[in-house]
Amino acid sequence: MKNLLERLLPLFRFRRIRTRFLVAMIVLAVPSLMLLGFISSNITKNMITDINSRNNLGHLQTSSEVADLLFRNIQNLHLSIVTNDAVSANLRRSNARPLIPPTSSGELGDEATSNLQQILGDRIVDTRYIRSICLFDLKFRVSCIGRSDDTGQYETTGRSTIAYTAWYKRAYEAQGKVLYFPADVFGETNRSFSTVKLVRDESVVTGKPIGLLVINIDKQLFGNVFQSSGPYERFLALDAQKDGVATVYNSSNDPVTTSYTSNLSDRIAGYEQDGYLISRYTNMTTGWTFLHLVQRHALLEQSNQIAYATIGIAAMMGLIAILLSYFISGSITRPLLQLKKLMLDWTQGTLQLPDRFARDEVGTIGETFKRIVIENEELNRRLIQTEIKEKEAELRALQAQIKPHFLYNTLDSIYWMATLENNHEVARMAVSLSETFKLSLNKGKESITVYQELKHIEHYLNIQNIRFNNRFIYVEQVEETVKGMEVMKLLLQPLVENAIYHGLEPKVGPGTITLTGTYHDQQLVFTVADDGVGMEDISCITHGYGLCNVLERMKLAYGPESVLEVRSEVNRGTMITLRFRPGY
């Protein structure tokens, strides 16, 4: 095989560059352009699908927002009814009345109906889609607007059976929240859906239930929410619960199934198998899933024509490229030879760059080569300067290492001089200041044990107590297991400094700082609390350099989930809490 290739290879080594260029264009241009046509057609299909999905998702989001406005009117209507004093009083009186006869439910009466009508008259709401409103007491006496005082299928079985239905139990467990059901809970029609709210007595603290409010909504609401723009698309609203999925609305003429069957994933997978492109959006108010279905073959029908046109254009471009390559190759090879000579001269150090190159692709390469030569000379010059600066930086680093030792030695001298003069306060301050600098520098390390950080705080408080005549009491409640863990340095000391500066220093008399540290659920939690003056506006410290610096360093070291919380009360004190995961 190797010998065969060696014999065939000279046949393709044409002597003239122009011939090689022409053959290369034929071999590369024609297959690649055909492949380009195929790929571009697929890209076109994907682009159309992607654009359609984004547009449909935006359409669904807009439709959901429109639906939310209509649902908000319904919820406001619920709220107006259940908070009406006359309605509540009527329900309480009705619940106190016995059933006559005991086996019947009866009605709430004209007063309840009048109250509902008055509420509708007083409120300016959109009632186009409200089919009926029914108000129940706890004994299932009812008063309705928009229908006679009956409860559909429950008139036959007895209204008391409502208490055993799943929708009533859900409404009772919701304790006053408006619930949306995919169909009429009275079972009379599939052209409406129900909203149910438990009525609670606001006159007592416990808010005990006193009734039930059912508002039936015409599903034509969705017809105005979803504005269909073509015969190949459908809109659906689905209610997904743990026991299955029910169809609330279907823009096609297919029958609507309001019973809960299968699950949402299986339903969507079935639509995809039927050849639909699906966009979905969850409505915030109801939790229902809105679907927009478009038939794939109808959407991509025009893209197939684009594919054929793209392939034809690509083939034509290939033929034109071959013809032009024959005439252009000569104009390319001559500047290339000139550029080759310039490169050889550069390697030999005898380069004489021309003032300008031709204004074509080869000229662009020449200008690029010219710029590379100039930049290379500049880089060589910068390299020499960089080496000089590195030497200077090493010298400054050596000088910087000397400064801490000079500081420690000076503080040590102050300590011994103060001790000899029996000035113990100055001696203790010098020792604390020396230890504070040592722990802050930490030999250049960024991490420190919690035990060392606590020592840093103790030395800092020694200095502050000397300054302020022992006004500050420090209480440390840190778990022993936490003290051995490593944290970034200067994590807690700025919080203690903040407590003294903002809380205890303005306070008259002594003050207490309490520091606690625990490890729970793989998180370290530190709190620094003081009984100082507190503050109404905590922005003066949360926007300051100190706490912002601590929070930014925490997020860099322990991840974006790290938390710094500040709570403060005037004349009660301030508490700052740090929470982070040390093993991030």
pLDDT of residue 203: 78
pLDDT per residue as tens digits for the range 304-334: 666 677 667 767 776 776 777 666 666 666 6
pLDDT per residue as tens digits for the range 402-429: 345 445 555 555 655 556 566 556 656 6
Residue 348 confidence class, pLDDT cut points 50, 70, 90: low
**Cα–Cα distances in angstroms (integers) from residue 76 to residues 70, 210, 212, 432, in the given order:** 10, 19, 16, 65
Mean pLDDT for 153-164 is: 85
What does the block give as tokens for 46?
A: 């994907």
Q: Name the phi and psi angles at 125, rounded to 5.
A: -125, 160
pLDDT of residue 193: 92
Mean pLDDT for 59-71 is: 88
Check whether 400 has a pLDDT greater than 50.
Answer: no
Residue 123 confidence class, pLDDT cut points 50, 70, 90: low
Helices marked H in 349-360? none
The average confidence (pLDDT) of the chain is 78
With pLDDT > 70 as the criterion, what percentage of the chain qualifies?
A: 71
Residue 399 confidence class, pLDDT cut points 50, 70, 90: very low
Check whether 514 has a pLDDT greater than 90.
Answer: yes
Residue 260 confidence class, pLDDT cut points 50, 70, 90: low
Mean pLDDT for 156-160 is: 83
| Helix axes 17-82 and 301-348, enclosed angle (nearest 10) | 130
Helices marked H in 294-360? 296-299, 301-348
The mean-pLDDT minimum among 190-194, 245-249, 352-356 falls in: 352-356
pLDDT of residue 527: 96
For the chain, give percent helix, strand, coil, nearest 5. 55, 20, 25
pTM for this model (two decimals): 0.49
pLDDT per residue as tens digits for the range 384-396: 776 666 555 444 5
Query: CB neighbours of 188 closer than 8 A, spacing ≥ 6?
Result: 152, 153
Residue 531 confidence class, pLDDT cut points 50, 70, 90: very high
pLDDT of residue 402: 39
Check whether 56 has a pLDDT greater than 50.
Answer: yes
Mean pLDDT for 516-534 is: 93
pLDDT per residue as tens digits for the range 20-34: 666 766 666 667 766
SS3 370: helix
pLDDT per residue as tens digits for the range 423-465: 556 656 666 666 666 656 656 677 889 998 898 888 888 888 8
Residue 181 confidence class, pLDDT cut points 50, 70, 90: very high
pLDDT of residue 516: 95
Mean pLDDT for 126-146 is: 86
Buried-exposed string 368-392: b where 16+ CB fall within 10 A, e elsewhere: ebbeeeeeeeeeeeeeeeeeeeeee
β-pairing, 472-478 vs 511-520, is parallel
Closest CA to 528 of 558, 490, 497: 497
Q: 192 — alpha (psi -120 to 50), left (phi > 0) or beta?
A: beta
Check whether 540 has a pLDDT greater than 80.
Answer: no
Q: Name the phi and psi angles at 544, rounded to 5.
A: -80, 170
